[in-house]
Amino acid sequence: MRDRPDAIMLFAAGFGTRMRHLTADRPKPLVKVAGHTLLDHALAQTDGVALTRKVVNSHYLPDQIKAHLANRPDITVIHEGGEILETGGGLKNALPVLENSPVFTMNTDAVWQGENPLQALLDAWEPNKMDALLLCVPKENAIAHMGTGDFTITDDGRLNYGPGDIYSGAQIVQTDRLHEISETSFSLKQLWAKLLDSKRMYGLRYTGKWCDVGSPEGVELAETMLRTPDV
């Protein structure tokens, strides 16, 4: 087992049903924000960290994802045929390519402004006490996100479910306990439940701005955020 993650799983297999007309003819990761696809916004963050393996999963209109990444030999695209595997199942399915643990995972439906989120996670990662480190966003720094938050963070950095900070979709996680889950299709929440029970699941607050691009309105709000100086 390595201490430092050097591989990333980028989740790009969803249908993007909340995006309405924008995903009628393209997968959500290929929706553009400020002239760049959501997938490219995510990949720009990965390019700022030393990684040996990058994996992108696909399901809806997978040929478009494959064609978009045709000139990126550093990226492996895994097509998930049949049922949607969800985040936990998608990560488990990619383990033969990711090879080792821990790994980064990142959603591709958000835009960031501020420090590189993956570098922030890496700087705070303490493998001797952590099996997961989730990057969370205070509500005042989260744009276009509805809800009361996902987690509270204790004084020592551990996570608990409850209204508070918003999970950003980026984390470092040990994948070993995925093998304890027999289902093929399941959410990462099943893995998190095991890590919460062992008190080895931690959170880190992101200091920059983060926009949830889960709707057409989110595209406009993300573009406004990117036009606003980062001060």
Q: At what angle do helices 188-197 and 86-98 cross, to 10 degrees?
A: 80
Nearest Cα neighbor of 204 from 140, 142, 118, 88 is 118
Q: Tell me whether residue 2 is in a domain.
A: no
Tokens describing residue 60? 């809806």
Which of the four pLDDT bands, split at 50, 70 and 90, describes residue 20?
Answer: confident
Q: Give the pLDDT confidence score for residue 67 in this predicted structure.
A: 98
Average pLDDT over residues 82-87: 93
Mean pLDDT computed over 24-48: 96
pLDDT recorded at residue 164:
96
Do the domain assignments include residue 151?
yes
For the stretch 179-220, pLDDT in tens is: 999 999 999 999 999 999 999 999 999 999 999 999 999 999
Which stretches within the chain are classed as H helix?
38-46, 62-68, 86-98, 117-124, 188-197, 216-227
What pLDDT, on the 0 to 100 scale, is given for residue 65? Answer: 97
CATH number, domain containing residue 98: 3.90.550.10
Within a domain: 67: yes
Question: Is 159 among the domain residues?
Answer: yes
**pLDDT in the model for residue 146:** 87
Residue indicated by tokens 């001797």? 128
Domain assignment present for 1: no
Q: Is residue 49 part of a domain?
A: yes
Q: Tens digits of per-residue pLDDT, 153-173?
A: 999 999 999 999 999 999 999
> What integer best gives the mean pLDDT of the chain?
95
Count of structural domains, the chain = 1
Question: For position 15, what pLDDT does the model report?
Answer: 83
The boundaries of the domain holding residue 138 are 7-227
Q: How far apart are CA 61 and CA 80, in angstroms?
A: 11
In a domain, 132, yes or no: yes
Instruction: Tell me if 156 sits within 8 A of 146, measured CB to CB.
Output: no
Which helix (H) or strand (E) segment is 113 a member of? strand 110-113
**SS3 state of residue 86:** helix
